[in-house]
């Protein structure tokens, strides 16, 4: 079960697709954050979802929210995919320890070994304001993001 609203978001530090460290704590007191866990780069459903987010930046800009994508892929795979798809938001590698951050959010699927499609809207104070997830192969909709950002 994914973490629910009202829970303090677990801090983490992961490498982005360019090898730079990104820590959730650096956003606290500065800007809200949307964490988008996704199973795997280069997969059809994940690509469709993240391309839709790329194509609708106004959703996040309107609330000053930083968008961060997270998967168990290596930073190298995330960089290749990010460049291929022209993603303009950070893609973070939860590669090692394998899925540790996804686990801390209740979003890791043990059997396949990757993150579920789970999203967390985190306030400036570091508290989860909204969270939602979809089943295997089921994409998240822009309406789910709109509703969560309004919360």
Rounded to a whole number of angstroms, the CA Rg of the chain reads 14
What count of other Cβ atoms lies within 10 Å of the Cβ of residue 3? 18
**Helix-helix angle 44-54:75-85, to 10 degrees:** 60
| CA–CA–CA angle 116, 121, 67 (5° rounding) | 80
Catalytic annotation present for 46: yes
Residues 24, 36, 46, 116: which is the catalytic one? 46
Give the end-to-end CA distance of the chain in Å, rounded to a whole number. Answer: 20
Q: Would you name the residues annotated as active-site residues? A: 46
């Amino acid at each position: 079960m994914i973490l629910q609203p009202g829970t303090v978001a677990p801090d983490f530090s992961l490498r982005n697709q360019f090898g730079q460290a990104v820590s959730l704590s650096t956003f606290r007191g500065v800007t809200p954050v949307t964490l988008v866990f996704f199973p795997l780069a280069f997969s059809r459903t994940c690509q469709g979802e993240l391309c839709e987010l790329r194509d609708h930046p106004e959703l996040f800009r309107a609330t000053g929210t930083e968008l961060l994508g997270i998967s168990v892929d290596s930073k190298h795979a995330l960089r290749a995919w990010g460049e291929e798809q022209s993603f303009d938001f950070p893609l973070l590698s939860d590669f090692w320890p394998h899925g540790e951050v996804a686990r801390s959010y209740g979003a890791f699927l043990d059997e396949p070994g990757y993150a579920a499609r789970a999203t967390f809207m985190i306030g400036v104070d570091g508290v989860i304001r909204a969270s939602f997830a979809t089943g295997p192969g089921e994409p998240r909709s822009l309406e789910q993001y709109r509703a969560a950002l309004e919360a």
